[in-house]
Structure 1
């Protein structure tokens, strides 16, 4: 890793549609960006830009939801210093049809995607100004796991994009397998899905719905699990995937571009999107086949260096400097 020169001290404003109370991916990204940039910049996080004349660079999370701040910045500064970070709903939904999200793409100096497949989802005319910046997390000790059962954890709020129904259905298919335990962490954002979660917990003794937990508590739960299950139908680059990998916990994930960009095309732990039977089969194989579990562990270990904080910090500083100077 090269040693970064001390850049000109810039004032950076991070616009995040979600703040600390939401405890979601946008907030985790905003908080981490601020921490990584503060060694080189003055940084603040806002939900909506206040028009401060002292700001040199804006990092806007979400092309559609941060549109008003992006538009206000463009009126004052044009494209200079305007960085737009594209989320999963941006990449795989909003920029296809939403006029405001599309306008944000035009105005941005730099577009940032969070995994290697993200560039291909950006319209071709904007790919030249699109860069990949893998997110990062701290490494945690790999804990020894009991051989008496397989504990699989899903971390995802109850939202359709996270496909919790796939996890509920897999729990029902595995109900007769007492040696496979399923835990679920997530806030009750959708009332219908919340009802299904509680119903599944009442009817399937192998499924436990833990509800919303703090980020630290969630990381400890991931660390103690044998495997993370990530069944989303739409992701820009999930925090929980890298947090599992950097805790020595392998991942079983839906085969969508956002997960392939995090785990690699040849990863052996994918299952077809929204296919609960296939997910159940993968978990059964992990329980029965130690060599398969070891394969996923080894593949995840090879991806771990992508999520190193120093790597993300260097990438972010370069992006910030270039957006302001060019």
Structure 2
């Protein structure tokens, strides 16, 4: 008996090195051994048994083509960020993708509340994961902050830039920034900031493994985003023993918890600067955030995400009568 086939449609493949690609790549690995998996950035036909589509708007053409060609074959739609928190409010193609999907996946604990009320019954929470790494010993001579995010408005790099300028007199607080120059104006601002404030460094886009190593080495990860579906970089920090300070938005609170002590209001550069100064000046506050992150870390274990995904696909296929004769057991081999 052949294993069922799954096509994963992601708007970004390996060259983009972004969150959608990392999710698609990781899920393909989880499904291997249970399913035959194909990765593509656009579905143009095929006889797969099930589609997983990432991003309601960017994958809308593939979702529409799948539903037209295969009205009875199941479709799982993953709402990965800007589609959940922006596109569903006004973009017709994103709205139609949600209507066409059999199951909707959100990537943080607060995501279901963002779905249209009539679609929430189709919703499933699947927290992403990252392998745990041993926390590194870190110097007490300074505090090194790190922001990881391509230079684009959704990541709110200006908040980090402004906080760096406000901390210009603190030579004991160093601010690093990893991310590609997706916005030329923001890249110019990053270069000027580095020239004006030597304690700020823009490192550009780095390979994933090098980025992960720098997350391990930092005292704190800064995540200033305006909107996020469930930022994998936050998860990587938590599972590396590096505490996070983050904008108080739904996608971040849905990962770190409502009672987490490391939030600042979105766009509040002064609040971010104050938090960084507090973490440098009060070792107990930094330790408290690290303890809170350690308590959340088990939620981001790969086995947890793998089980959620396998259970989701097994139940979705089982609910499709024509496919129940070859629905796999979700029990890991």
TM-score normalized with structure 2 length: 0.94
Deviation at 1:79, TM superposition (A): 5.5
Q: For residues 190-269 of structure 1, what are the structure 2 equivalents within 5 Å?
A: 190-269=183-262
Match for residue 297 of structure 2?
Answer: 304
Match for residue 87 of structure 2?
Answer: 94
Match for residue 125 of structure 2?
Answer: 132
Matched position secondary structure for 2:311: helix
- Does residue 46 in structure 1 map to residue 31 in structure 2? no
For residues 257 and 73 of structure 2, what CA distance do their matches in structure 1 show? Answer: 34
Matched position secondary structure for 1:259: helix
**CA displacement 1:167-226 (0-9 Å, x = unmatched):** 000000001100000000000000110000101111001100000000111000100000
- Does residue 37 in structure 1 map to residue 45 in structure 2? no
Deviates more, 1:73-82 or 1:15-24: 73-82
Matched position secondary structure for 2:108: coil
Match for residue 143 of structure 1?
Answer: 136
Question: Which segments of 5 or more consecutive residues in structure 1 lack a partner in the other structure?
Answer: 1-6
Match for residue 329 of structure 2?
Answer: none
Cα 1:285–1:8, aligned 2, differ >3 Å: closer, same or farther? farther
Match for residue 21 of structure 1?
Answer: 15
Deviates more, 1:34-43 or 1:204-213: 34-43
Matched position secondary structure for 1:177: coil
Deviation at 1:325, TM superposition (A): 2.0
For residues 71 and 243 of structure 1, what CA distance do their matches in structure 2 show? Answer: 34
**CA displacement 1:208-254 (0-9 Å, x = unmatched):** 00000001110001000000000000000001000000000000000
How large is the Cα RMSD of the aligned pairs?
1.0
Matched position secondary structure for 1:152: strand
Match for residue 161 of structure 2?
Answer: 168
Matched position secondary structure for 2:121: helix
Match for residue 277 of structure 1?
Answer: 270
Mapped contact 1:19–1:47 kept (Cα < 8 A)? yes
For residues 198 and 132 of structure 2, what CA distance do their matches in structure 1 show? Answer: 32
Match of 1:77 among 70, 80, 84: 70
For residues 191 and 27 of structure 1, what CA distance do their matches in structure 2 show? Answer: 23
**CA displacement 1:259-313 (0-9 Å, x = unmatched):** 0000000000000110000000000000011111111001000110111111111
For residues 254 and 141 of structure 2, what CA distance do their matches in structure 1 show? Answer: 33
Cα 1:258–1:8, aligned 2, differ >3 Å: closer, same or farther? farther
For residues 323 and 64 of structure 1, what CA distance do their matches in structure 2 show? Answer: 22
For residues 139 and 79 of structure 1, what CA distance do their matches in structure 2 show? Answer: 39
